[in-house]
Structure 1
Amino acid sequence: MRAEGIAAALSAVADTTVLHFDDAEHQTGGVPRPSNPSALERLLSPTPSLVRCFRSAEFARRVHELGRTSIACFCLGLQMMQYADALPPGIPVVLDNYNVESDILERLAGQRSGLKRAYWHLQAAKLRRFERWALRRADCVIAISNADKRRFRELVPGVRAATIAPGLHLDRYLACQTNDVVPGRIVFVGALDWYVNIDAISWFACEVFPRIRERSSQASLAIIGRRPVAEVMMLAQQDAITLHADVPDVVPWLASATLTVVPLRYGSGVQTKVIEAMATAKPVVTTSVGAEGLDVQHGEHLLIADDAVGFAAACVKVLGDASYAVELGRNARERARHYSYPRLAQDVQRLVSELREVSPCLPVNPL
């Protein structure tokens, strides 16, 4: 994960303390994660749900305490910026804002109708206000792509922003063997409780996959991810679709794929799931949203299609041409190497060096 990579890069050059939330399943010495607000609270509160879900008085107290001996605070994620004002005065704040979150919600609202559309427009407006405050409050904002950096500057002209591309620990993905393929298997990997992925796999399973099956009867779809919601579980009732929830390791599933799909219809930043799939030397079919921010070429490193007919045709092309699939996968793996952890570490450590020019002896604390 990006947060873990940044924390590791900081630890290599500074006395670093990581303050984080624990959830019920994983107790690792962090602050207990607050319970989610009720539907009524999410509707009536002026605070966006993404931020409200991470509000904790204990977390704020710990931030203030750690801030007294820090040269800087790295907030890893927009929701963590709510704790910036808990820091003692004068502590620089660096925000790693790996999505333009309000844009994601606006795109989501555009896919809905009626009351759901109104609800998501309301959440997007709340988040946009918080996003603008956070961009102004941060002394430096890290974007995951140049496109996001430009968007941040549109939201808040003059914001100090830098691009640090994803730095992923790809060794296991790059070492993935390609000789255990299940013929015709299409694999989707993603968190199955996140609305962006729920929309993506629902659209693919209902609008795209039937078109693939019409032309490739051997095709099957394996949905891999944690915490699937009921809407995703229902997809597995369709012919040739299976759901595999909370698997301990996604790499064997990627290794078994003939083809991987990332059918995102809205989102922001750079999609790490695309990079990870590319690193396994598997052909990837995605959308313009899924490929956003990546230095890739359609037809050389992956295939891009934005409508159901085109997406299905791209999948059928890969499923029906083994030599092309191998070539596409080989090119994808080589391109994925550009997004490995060492690059992120160098960029993060450069930022730390700039901060240390002001105060050379004190530690850095990422949230």
Structure 2
Amino acid sequence: MGEILFLAHRIPFPPDRGDKIRSHNLFKALARLAPVHLGCFADDAADHACEQEMAALAASHILLDRGKSLPIAGLQALAKRQPLSLTAFHDRRMAGWVNKVLRSRPIETIFVFSGQMAQYVPEDFRGRLIVDLVDVDSAKFEAYGARGSGFRGWMERREGRLLRAEEARIAWRADRTLLVSKAEAALFAARLDEAMPGRSTCRVEAVGNGIDSVLFDPARTLPEPRLAVKEGAGGPRIVFTGQMDYAPNIAAVERAITRILPRIRARLPRASLHVVGRNPPPSLLSRHGRDGIHVWGRVEDIRPWLAAADMALVPLEIARGVQNKVLEAMGMELPVVLSPGAATGIEAEHGRHFFVAESDEALANAVVLLAEDPQSARAMGLAAREWILAHASWQAALASLPRMIGLQTENLIDAA
């Protein structure tokens, strides 16, 4: 068995946000199968604090600070006629390290996590190339651009157009291109049909997300005291979790605050919304403590907050792939009220495992109905966890990984 080069746009430690949870489990699973050399970037000091843990699993590694400012990356993107996503992650040190590893080690497989890192694969590499795009990023930026205006809207439309061409180039080059859900894989394949004749030679597959159902178990988790104390009769305590400097999450919370929560509080005056996740912008922080809104920011462990909540609300309007926040809430036996976009790729049953609604009014009504019928809410939470145990473990999600890298047997991988 040859060795593997794993390239990720963020260090896959700690697994505390959607993309890092997926890359973390992929990296650990691959490291059980063969020596893995890991090249990745750090966003902050907390990432560097995880380097020792990462080094213990990697055959070798490089962890670089991604210090390039957005304006500089933007100017480079305009000058080179490239997507900003590529120039933001271009670093000569990473390219040099990749070339050194390929020259000195018997690398059979390069596993690229996120399309930004495909730029480091040399054109003359003749081994196996697997690229996990996770989501169709070009479609996401096209959606941003359609909603935006002025220079930012123009840049987002440009990014969508150039990324679409880059995604086609990657798929043509790769032995396998992975997406996070069947729906995302079908969308990507359809866009390839339009962008690149001969797409039938490209292999596009879905590899879903999972969660650690032992870790996300309400029976093993004490509720967060700050949230566990009810604010008064009438509740409920509604939670939204996620990376809060991510535009779709910000838009979802703003929607919840301005359009959904007022409808809920008109019928349940003590209802409260709790936003839990790192780096909330000032526009959200300024709402903390007003009108039932609480913005908690970064927390060490999301599970106690889920354990203390009555339900989760996920009203995403722009969503790509499978939402880990939904899987985690379901694993913690929370009833989840969510938009159709947030439910994409999760093949659970509406009305049994979660409640899907599209309009602000319908989302608010669903929250109120569950709050007023605790027995039904409890049954939905229990059914949600049962679905997670049966369908959304990392072991099941990554069962095909040995085959992808050329092993003859499909050993089940304990990637918890």
Asked if Structure 1 and Structure 2 have the same fold, meaning a TM-score greater than 0.5 normalized by the shorter chain, the answer is yes
Q: 1:271 aligns with which of 296, 317, 323?
A: 323
- Report the counterpart of residue 162 of structure 1 in structure 2: 205
- Report the counterpart of residue 31 of structure 1 in structure 2: 64
- Report the counterpart of residue 112 of structure 1 in structure 2: 148
C-alpha distance in structure 2 between counterparts of 1:321 and 1:304, whole Å: 17
Q: 2:341 aligns with which of 282, 289, 292?
A: 289
Structure-2 change in CA distance of 1:121 and 1:341 (3 Å): same
> What is the correspondence of 1:1-367 to structure 2 with a 5 Å cutoff?
1-25=21-45, 26-27=47-48, 28=51, 30-38=63-71, 41=75, 44-45=78-79, 46-68=81-103, 69-85=106-122, 88-156=124-192, 157-158=199-200, 159-176=202-219, 180=223, 182=230, 183-236=235-288, 238-337=290-389, 338-353=391-406
Question: What SS does the corresponding residue of 1:20 show, helix, strand or coil?
Answer: strand
When the two structures are aligned, how many residues end up with a matched partner?
355
The CA deviation at 1:291 is 0.5
- Report the counterpart of residue 359 of structure 1 in structure 2: none
C-alpha distance in structure 1 between counterparts of 2:276 and 2:303, whole Å: 11
Deviations 1:64-96 (A, max 9, x none): 1222320010001111111123x7521221001
> Is the CA contact 1:283–1:329 (under 8 Å) kept in the aligned structure 2?
yes
Letter in 2 for 1:348: L
> With structure 1 as the length reference, what TM-score do the two structures score?
0.90
Structure-2 change in CA distance of 1:100 and 1:141 (3 Å): same
Deviations 1:275-310 (A, max 9, x none): 011000000011110000111111011011111111
C-alpha distance in structure 2 between counterparts of 1:286 and 1:67, whole Å: 45
Higher alpha-carbon deviation: 324-333 or 158-167: 158-167
Question: What SS does the corresponding residue of 1:231 show, helix, strand or coil?
Answer: helix
The CA deviation at 1:273 is 1.0
C-alpha distance in structure 2 between counterparts of 1:138 and 1:199, whole Å: 34
Higher RCO (C-alpha under 8 Å, 6+ residues apart): 1
> Is the CA contact 1:9–1:349 (under 8 Å) kept in the aligned structure 2?
no
> Is the CA contact 2:128–2:405 (under 8 Å) kept in the aligned structure 1?
no
C-alpha distance in structure 2 between counterparts of 1:77 and 1:7, whole Å: 13
C-alpha distance in structure 1 between counterparts of 2:220 and 2:121, whole Å: 45
The CA deviation at 1:187 is 0.5
The CA deviation at 1:167 is 2.9
Structure-2 change in CA distance of 1:309 and 1:178 (3 Å): farther
C-alpha distance in structure 1 between counterparts of 2:41 and 2:142, whole Å: 28
Question: What SS does the corresponding residue of 2:215 show, helix, strand or coil?
Answer: helix
> Is the CA contact 1:177–1:280 (under 8 Å) kept in the aligned structure 2?
no
> Is the CA contact 2:218–2:333 (under 8 Å) kept in the aligned structure 1?
no
Residue ranges of structure 1 left out of the alignment (5+ in a row): 357-367
Identity of aligned residues (%): 27
Question: What SS does the corresponding residue of 1:19 show, helix, strand or coil?
Answer: strand
The CA deviation at 1:113 is 3.9
Structure-2 change in CA distance of 1:176 and 1:233 (3 Å): farther
Structure-2 change in CA distance of 1:309 and 1:110 (3 Å): farther
C-alpha distance in structure 1 between counterparts of 2:329 and 2:374, whole Å: 17
> Is the CA contact 1:76–1:96 (under 8 Å) kept in the aligned structure 2?
yes
Deviations 1:227-266 (A, max 9, x none): 1122322332641101111111111100011011111101
Structure-2 change in CA distance of 1:239 and 1:19 (3 Å): same
Question: What SS does the corresponding residue of 1:166 show, helix, strand or coil?
Answer: coil
The CA deviation at 1:122 is 2.1
Residue ranges of structure 2 left out of the alignment (5+ in a row): 1-20, 52-61, 193-198, 410-416
> Is the CA contact 1:286–1:304 (under 8 Å) kept in the aligned structure 2?
yes
> Is the CA contact 1:67–1:88 (under 8 Å) kept in the aligned structure 2?
no
The CA deviation at 1:32 is 2.1
CA RMSD in angstroms comes to: 2.1
Deviations 1:87-117 (A, max 9, x none): 7521221001111111112222333345443
C-alpha distance in structure 2 between counterparts of 1:111 and 1:213, whole Å: 29
Letter in 1 for 2:75: E
> Is the CA contact 1:222–1:242 (under 8 Å) kept in the aligned structure 2?
yes
C-alpha distance in structure 2 between counterparts of 1:88 and 1:59, whole Å: 17
Question: What SS does the corresponding residue of 1:17 show, helix, strand or coil?
Answer: strand
Question: What SS does the corresponding residue of 2:107 show, helix, strand or coil?
Answer: coil
C-alpha distance in structure 2 between counterparts of 1:91 and 1:314, whole Å: 51
C-alpha distance in structure 2 between counterparts of 1:90 and 1:353, whole Å: 14
